[in-house]
């Protein structure tokens, strides 16, 4: 026999159905939200795969070179952008940068050991650094002999620099030749220290913010220096070795 309390308030009979219905609704909403987020992420990846190499392909066509993706494959690299180490905000900025871009592609930087292939654009404005990496004006321009300075975002293309090792090689492909560099050293400096960008012997200097996973504005700079090993001109059959270029 039910007590008076049970007749007025019976959680088993009066609340179980609404609670269960609410839980099902919440689960469906969360599932739908998850599917939407997954679709958005997939869209970024697909768009990146289809559009990320526009600047590189345009450069290759104009220069009439062997496709860089083939060269990377021979060296064990990858021709598609891997966003796995990028921050979400940088992926969004990159996607937004895939619009008609007035800045010309000066060169293509390729480091097969860390699966990096990226266009070098003219300047370090926000749009250029979201779409690729930028030539630091005031340093030697790609295609000329001197200290070439290139900058990139630590949470984008240049995050892979954290895996770079001394002795590995980097290639800078311009319209008339391919320069090969060997990594000499990596160091961390304060933002005011720009000594790495001073004019000097033919070399390559890569600059990004540091630490790589710092939240907020990174307080330091990560510098990679590489000396030229050889330079192969399209008009010549023999490479010009680094020692003869100093």
Instruction: Using alpha carbons, list the distances in angstroms from residue 200 to 140, 171, 189, 227.
Output: 9, 19, 19, 11
Listed by start position, the domains of the chain span 52-245
Name the residue among 107, 130, 132, 125 with its Cα closest to residue 204: 107
Q: What is the pLDDT of residue 42?
A: 65
Q: pLDDT at position 23, please?
A: 81
Would you identify the CATH topology of the domain 52-245? Sortase; Chain: A; (2.40.260)
pLDDT in tens, 104-126: 789 999 999 999 999 999 989 88
Per-residue pLDDT, 77: 38
Per-residue pLDDT of 34-87, as tens digits, reads 888 877 766 654 554 344 355 565 555 555 444 444 443 343 333 467 778 888
Non-local CB neighbours of 228 within 8 Å, separated by 6+ positions: 145, 179, 180, 181, 201, 202, 203, 204, 242, 245
For the cut 50, the answer to whether the pLDDT of residue 9 exceeds it is no
Per cent of the chain over pLDDT 70 is 68
pLDDT at 80: 63
Average pLDDT, the chain: 79
HSE of 108 in the Cβ direction (CA atoms, 13 Å)?
A: 30
Would you say 114 and 169 are in contact if contact means Cβ atoms under 8 Å apart? no
- In whole angstroms, give the CA distance from residue 212 to residue 215: 9
Residue 189 pLDDT greater than 60, yes or no: yes
The whole-number pLDDT of residue 240 equals 58
pTM: 0.66
The confidence score (pLDDT) of residue 41 equals: 63
Give the number of C-alpha atoms closer than 13 A to the C-alpha of residue 8, restricted to the C-beta side. 3
Instruction: Give 3-state DSSP helix, strand, coil % of the chain, rounded to 5.
Output: 40, 25, 35
Dihedral sign computed on CA atoms, order 178, 181, 187, 191: negative
Burial (0-12, 13-18, 19+ Cβ within 10 Å), 240: middle
DSSP 8-state secondary structure symbol assigned to residue 239? P
* Burial status of residue 182 (CB atoms within 10 A of its CB: 0-12, 13-18, 19 or more): middle
């Amino acid at each position: 026999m039910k007590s008076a309390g049970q007749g007025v308030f019976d959680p088993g009979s009066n609340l179980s159905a609404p609670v269960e219905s609410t839980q099902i609704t919440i689960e469906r909403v969360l599932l739908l939200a998850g599917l939407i987020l997954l679709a958005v992420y997939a869209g970024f990846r697909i768009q990146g795969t289809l559009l990320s190499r526009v600047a590189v392909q345009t450069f290759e066509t104009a220069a009439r070179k062997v496709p860089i993706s083939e060269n990377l494959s021979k060296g064990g690299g990858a021709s598609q952008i891997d966003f796995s180490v990028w921050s979400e905000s940088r992926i969004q900025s990159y996607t937004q940068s895939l619009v008609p871009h007035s800045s010309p592609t000066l060169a293509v930087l390729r480091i097969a050991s860390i699966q990096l292939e990226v266009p070098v654009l003219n300047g370090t404005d926000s749009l250029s650094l979201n779409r690729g990496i930028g030539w630091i004006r005031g340093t030697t321009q790609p295609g000329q002999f001197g200290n070439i300075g290139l900058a990139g975002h630590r949470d984008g293309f240049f995050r892979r620099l954290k895996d770079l090792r001394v002795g590995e090689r980097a290639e800078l492909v311009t319209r008339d030749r391919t320069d090969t560099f060997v990594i000499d050293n990596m160091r961390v400096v304060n933002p005011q220290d720009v000594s790495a960008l001073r004019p000097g012997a033919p070399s390559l200097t890569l600059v990004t913010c540091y630490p790589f996973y710092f939240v907020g504005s990174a307080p330091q700079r990560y510098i990679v220096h590489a000396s030229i090993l050889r330079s192969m001109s399209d008009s010549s059959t023999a490479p010009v070795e680094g020692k003869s270029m100093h």
